Amino acid sequence: MTDTEYVDVLIVGAGLSGIGSARHLQKECPDRSFLLLESRERLGGTWDLFRYPGIRSDSDMYTLGYTFKPWPERKALADGPSILRYLKETASETAVDQHIRYRHRVIGASWSSATSSWTVSVQREGEEDIEFRCGFLMMCSGYYDYEQGYTPEFTGRDDFRGTIVHAQHWPENLDYKGKRVVVIGSGATAVTLVPELARDTMLTTMLQRSPTYIASIPEEDSWSSKLHGKLPSSWVYRLVRWKRVVLQIFIFNLSRRKPHFVKKLLLGEVRKQLGEEYDIAKHFTPTYNPWDQRLCAVPDGDMFDAIRSKRAEVVTDHISHFTETGIHLKSGQDLKADIIVLATGLNMQFIGGASLTVDGKDMQPHDLFVYKGMMLANVPNLVQVFGYTNASWTLKSDLTAMFVCRILNRMRRTGTTVAVPTMASGEVEEDPMIDFTSSYVLRAMDNFPRQGRRLPWRVYQNFIIDFLNLRLRPLKDKVLRFR
């Protein structure tokens, strides 16, 4: 093993969070050295990994974009290639890309109080393993497994004579033109894929066990269109960003307080799109309340357009087994297919699946509590960047990066080297870290930290509350200790 390289801040992941965090470090902590370790061969994270047709954000780019770099295009819901281009531009024009080490997979991190530093173990593709040391560790690796999406067991899968693909690993040259395609799933990936595939297929069928709330939103923001050319673009970006933030918080809180009212509004809009004769109750009425799971957004109703034009259909049923020519459903219906697409979800994992030890003690994620939605109880100098589940990821990742900069600058001023949120055993009543009923969340919660029921251990899904707590309130409290 080669000599251990030291940096002040080590960032794991060169996606949306990692690139943004590096830029904040450049601006706010110019005296700190940093590196980004990326397990893949390119930057971009999610927006480089997913290559399926129609890949796009289901969050608007006025809030998914960075605070320091206004989104330059007119589309609010942007396609994947445009977002990846935005990330590459950000990394290049700030020279963040010069600090990225590719094909470096972090497999473990060990804290030593004797040296006030982390030793990070890294696997390098085609080369020997290596270690890095750092004073502060930022985990920007997202929350799901890039290697493998979730795939249920399907009886008779090997009998199917056609092509089966998982949306997370879309083949580059898959020919679906004129074919019969069945997309299994009902989440954001499925409602993105279906209208795009339907442009060229004989028929695209979305096969779901149960419906998801789907809302049509304008592809371009009305404020942006009206203000464009009348105000500087940076002003427009900030105004629209805050409008979107307030609207997201309002809708989420309204959904929690008056779920039946919001449900009626959402289903009423679907009925306007598909007409009175369409079976809304069966195909678009979930059993849960709005925002108990993530709401799916479709730009200008493209999903509904595809259904109205008979290029796409929705089937709500359970799979009995695969056949040679398609899928046999428990209702007795047979779906013919040339291609079956598994949009069956993702596998969540905490901090990229890396192990953590503190002074030789293994730290199991489920035994830990989250401090201010980012640090871990009794784990020094480590931040996990975890965005909002009910709004854009970047809103929280930006706040997290700026909070880390505040910590680092205070440590520099006071001559301290350690920042650690402290908690005594049994001090806090616990809740799951993510308050969602989605299957992919429920499957993974035993492998994630927990939250408490009061500050600062409570994870608020609210940008305004977090803005006040992380940007305006003093760093010093009864929990976060500097030494």
Q: Is 50 exceeded by the pLDDT of residue 1?
A: no
- Measure the CA–CA gap between 421 and 479, rounded to whole angstroms: 5
SS3 at position 308? helix
Average pLDDT of the residues in 415-432:
84
Alpha helices (H) along 150-232 = 188-197, 222-227
pLDDT tens digits, 145-157: 778 888 889 999 9
How many residues in total does the chain contain?
483
pLDDT tens digits, 6-30: 999 999 999 999 999 999 999 999 9
The per-residue pLDDT of the chain, averaged, comes to 91
Q: In what order do the strands lie in the sheet with 163-166?
A: 163-166, 339-342, 180-184, 203-208, 312-316
Residue 437's pLDDT is 59
Q: Is 90 exceeded by the pLDDT of residue 303?
A: yes
pLDDT tens digits, 248-261: 999 999 999 999 99
- Measure the CA–CA gap between 317 and 320, rounded to whole angstroms: 9
Residue 435's pLDDT is 66
Using alpha carbons only, how large is the chain's radius of gyration in Å? 23
DSSP state of 310: T
Q: Which tokens is 331 given?
A: 């209702």
CB atoms within 10 A of CB 348: 20
pLDDT tens digits, 427-459: 777 777 666 656 666 666 777 888 888 889 988
Write out the H or E segment, with its range, that includes residue 215.
strand 214-217
Write out the H or E segment, with its range, that includes residue 22.
helix 16-28
Q: Which tokens is 24 given?
A: 């904040």
Contact 63, 395 (CB under 8 A): yes
Q: What percent of the chain has a predicted confidence (pLDDT) above 70? A: 96
Q: Is the dihedral of CA 199, 200, 201, 207 positive or negative?
A: negative
Q: Which domains, from first to last, does the chain contain?
A: 5-59+74-147+348-482 (3.50.50.60), 157-222+258-342 (3.50.50.60)
Average pLDDT of the residues in 372-384:
95
Residue 278's pLDDT is 95
Q: Is 60 exceeded by the pLDDT of residue 405?
A: yes
Alpha helices (H) along 258-357 = 259-274, 280-283, 302-308
Q: Binning pLDDT at 50, 70 and 90, where does residue 424 land?
A: confident
The predicted model scores a pTM of 0.92
Bond prior to 365 in cis (omega within 30° of 0): no
Torsions phi, psi of 109, nearest 5?
A: -140, 135
Residue 450's pLDDT is 86
Contact 352, 39 (CB under 8 A): yes
Top-confidence residue, 225 or 416: 416
- Measure the CA–CA gap between 299 and 145, rounded to whole angstroms: 27
Look-up: residue for tokens 């999406």? 149
Average pLDDT of the residues in 46-64:
90
- Measure the CA–CA gap between 385 and 196, rounded to whole angstroms: 32
pLDDT tens digits, 209-257: 999 999 998 888 788 878 877 888 888 888 999 999 999 999 999 999 9
Alpha helices (H) along 172-258 = 188-197, 222-227, 233-257
Look-up: residue for tokens 């592809």? 219
pLDDT tens digits, 351-372: 888 999 999 999 988 888 999 9
Contact 223, 241 (CB under 8 A): no
| Residue closest to 42 by CA, chosen among 51, 54, 34, 29 | 51
Top-confidence residue, 148 or 280: 280
* Least confident window among 183-192, 262-271, 450-459: 450-459
- Measure the CA–CA gap between 202 and 225, rounded to whole angstroms: 36
pLDDT tens digits, 312-344: 999 999 999 999 999 999 999 999 999 999 999
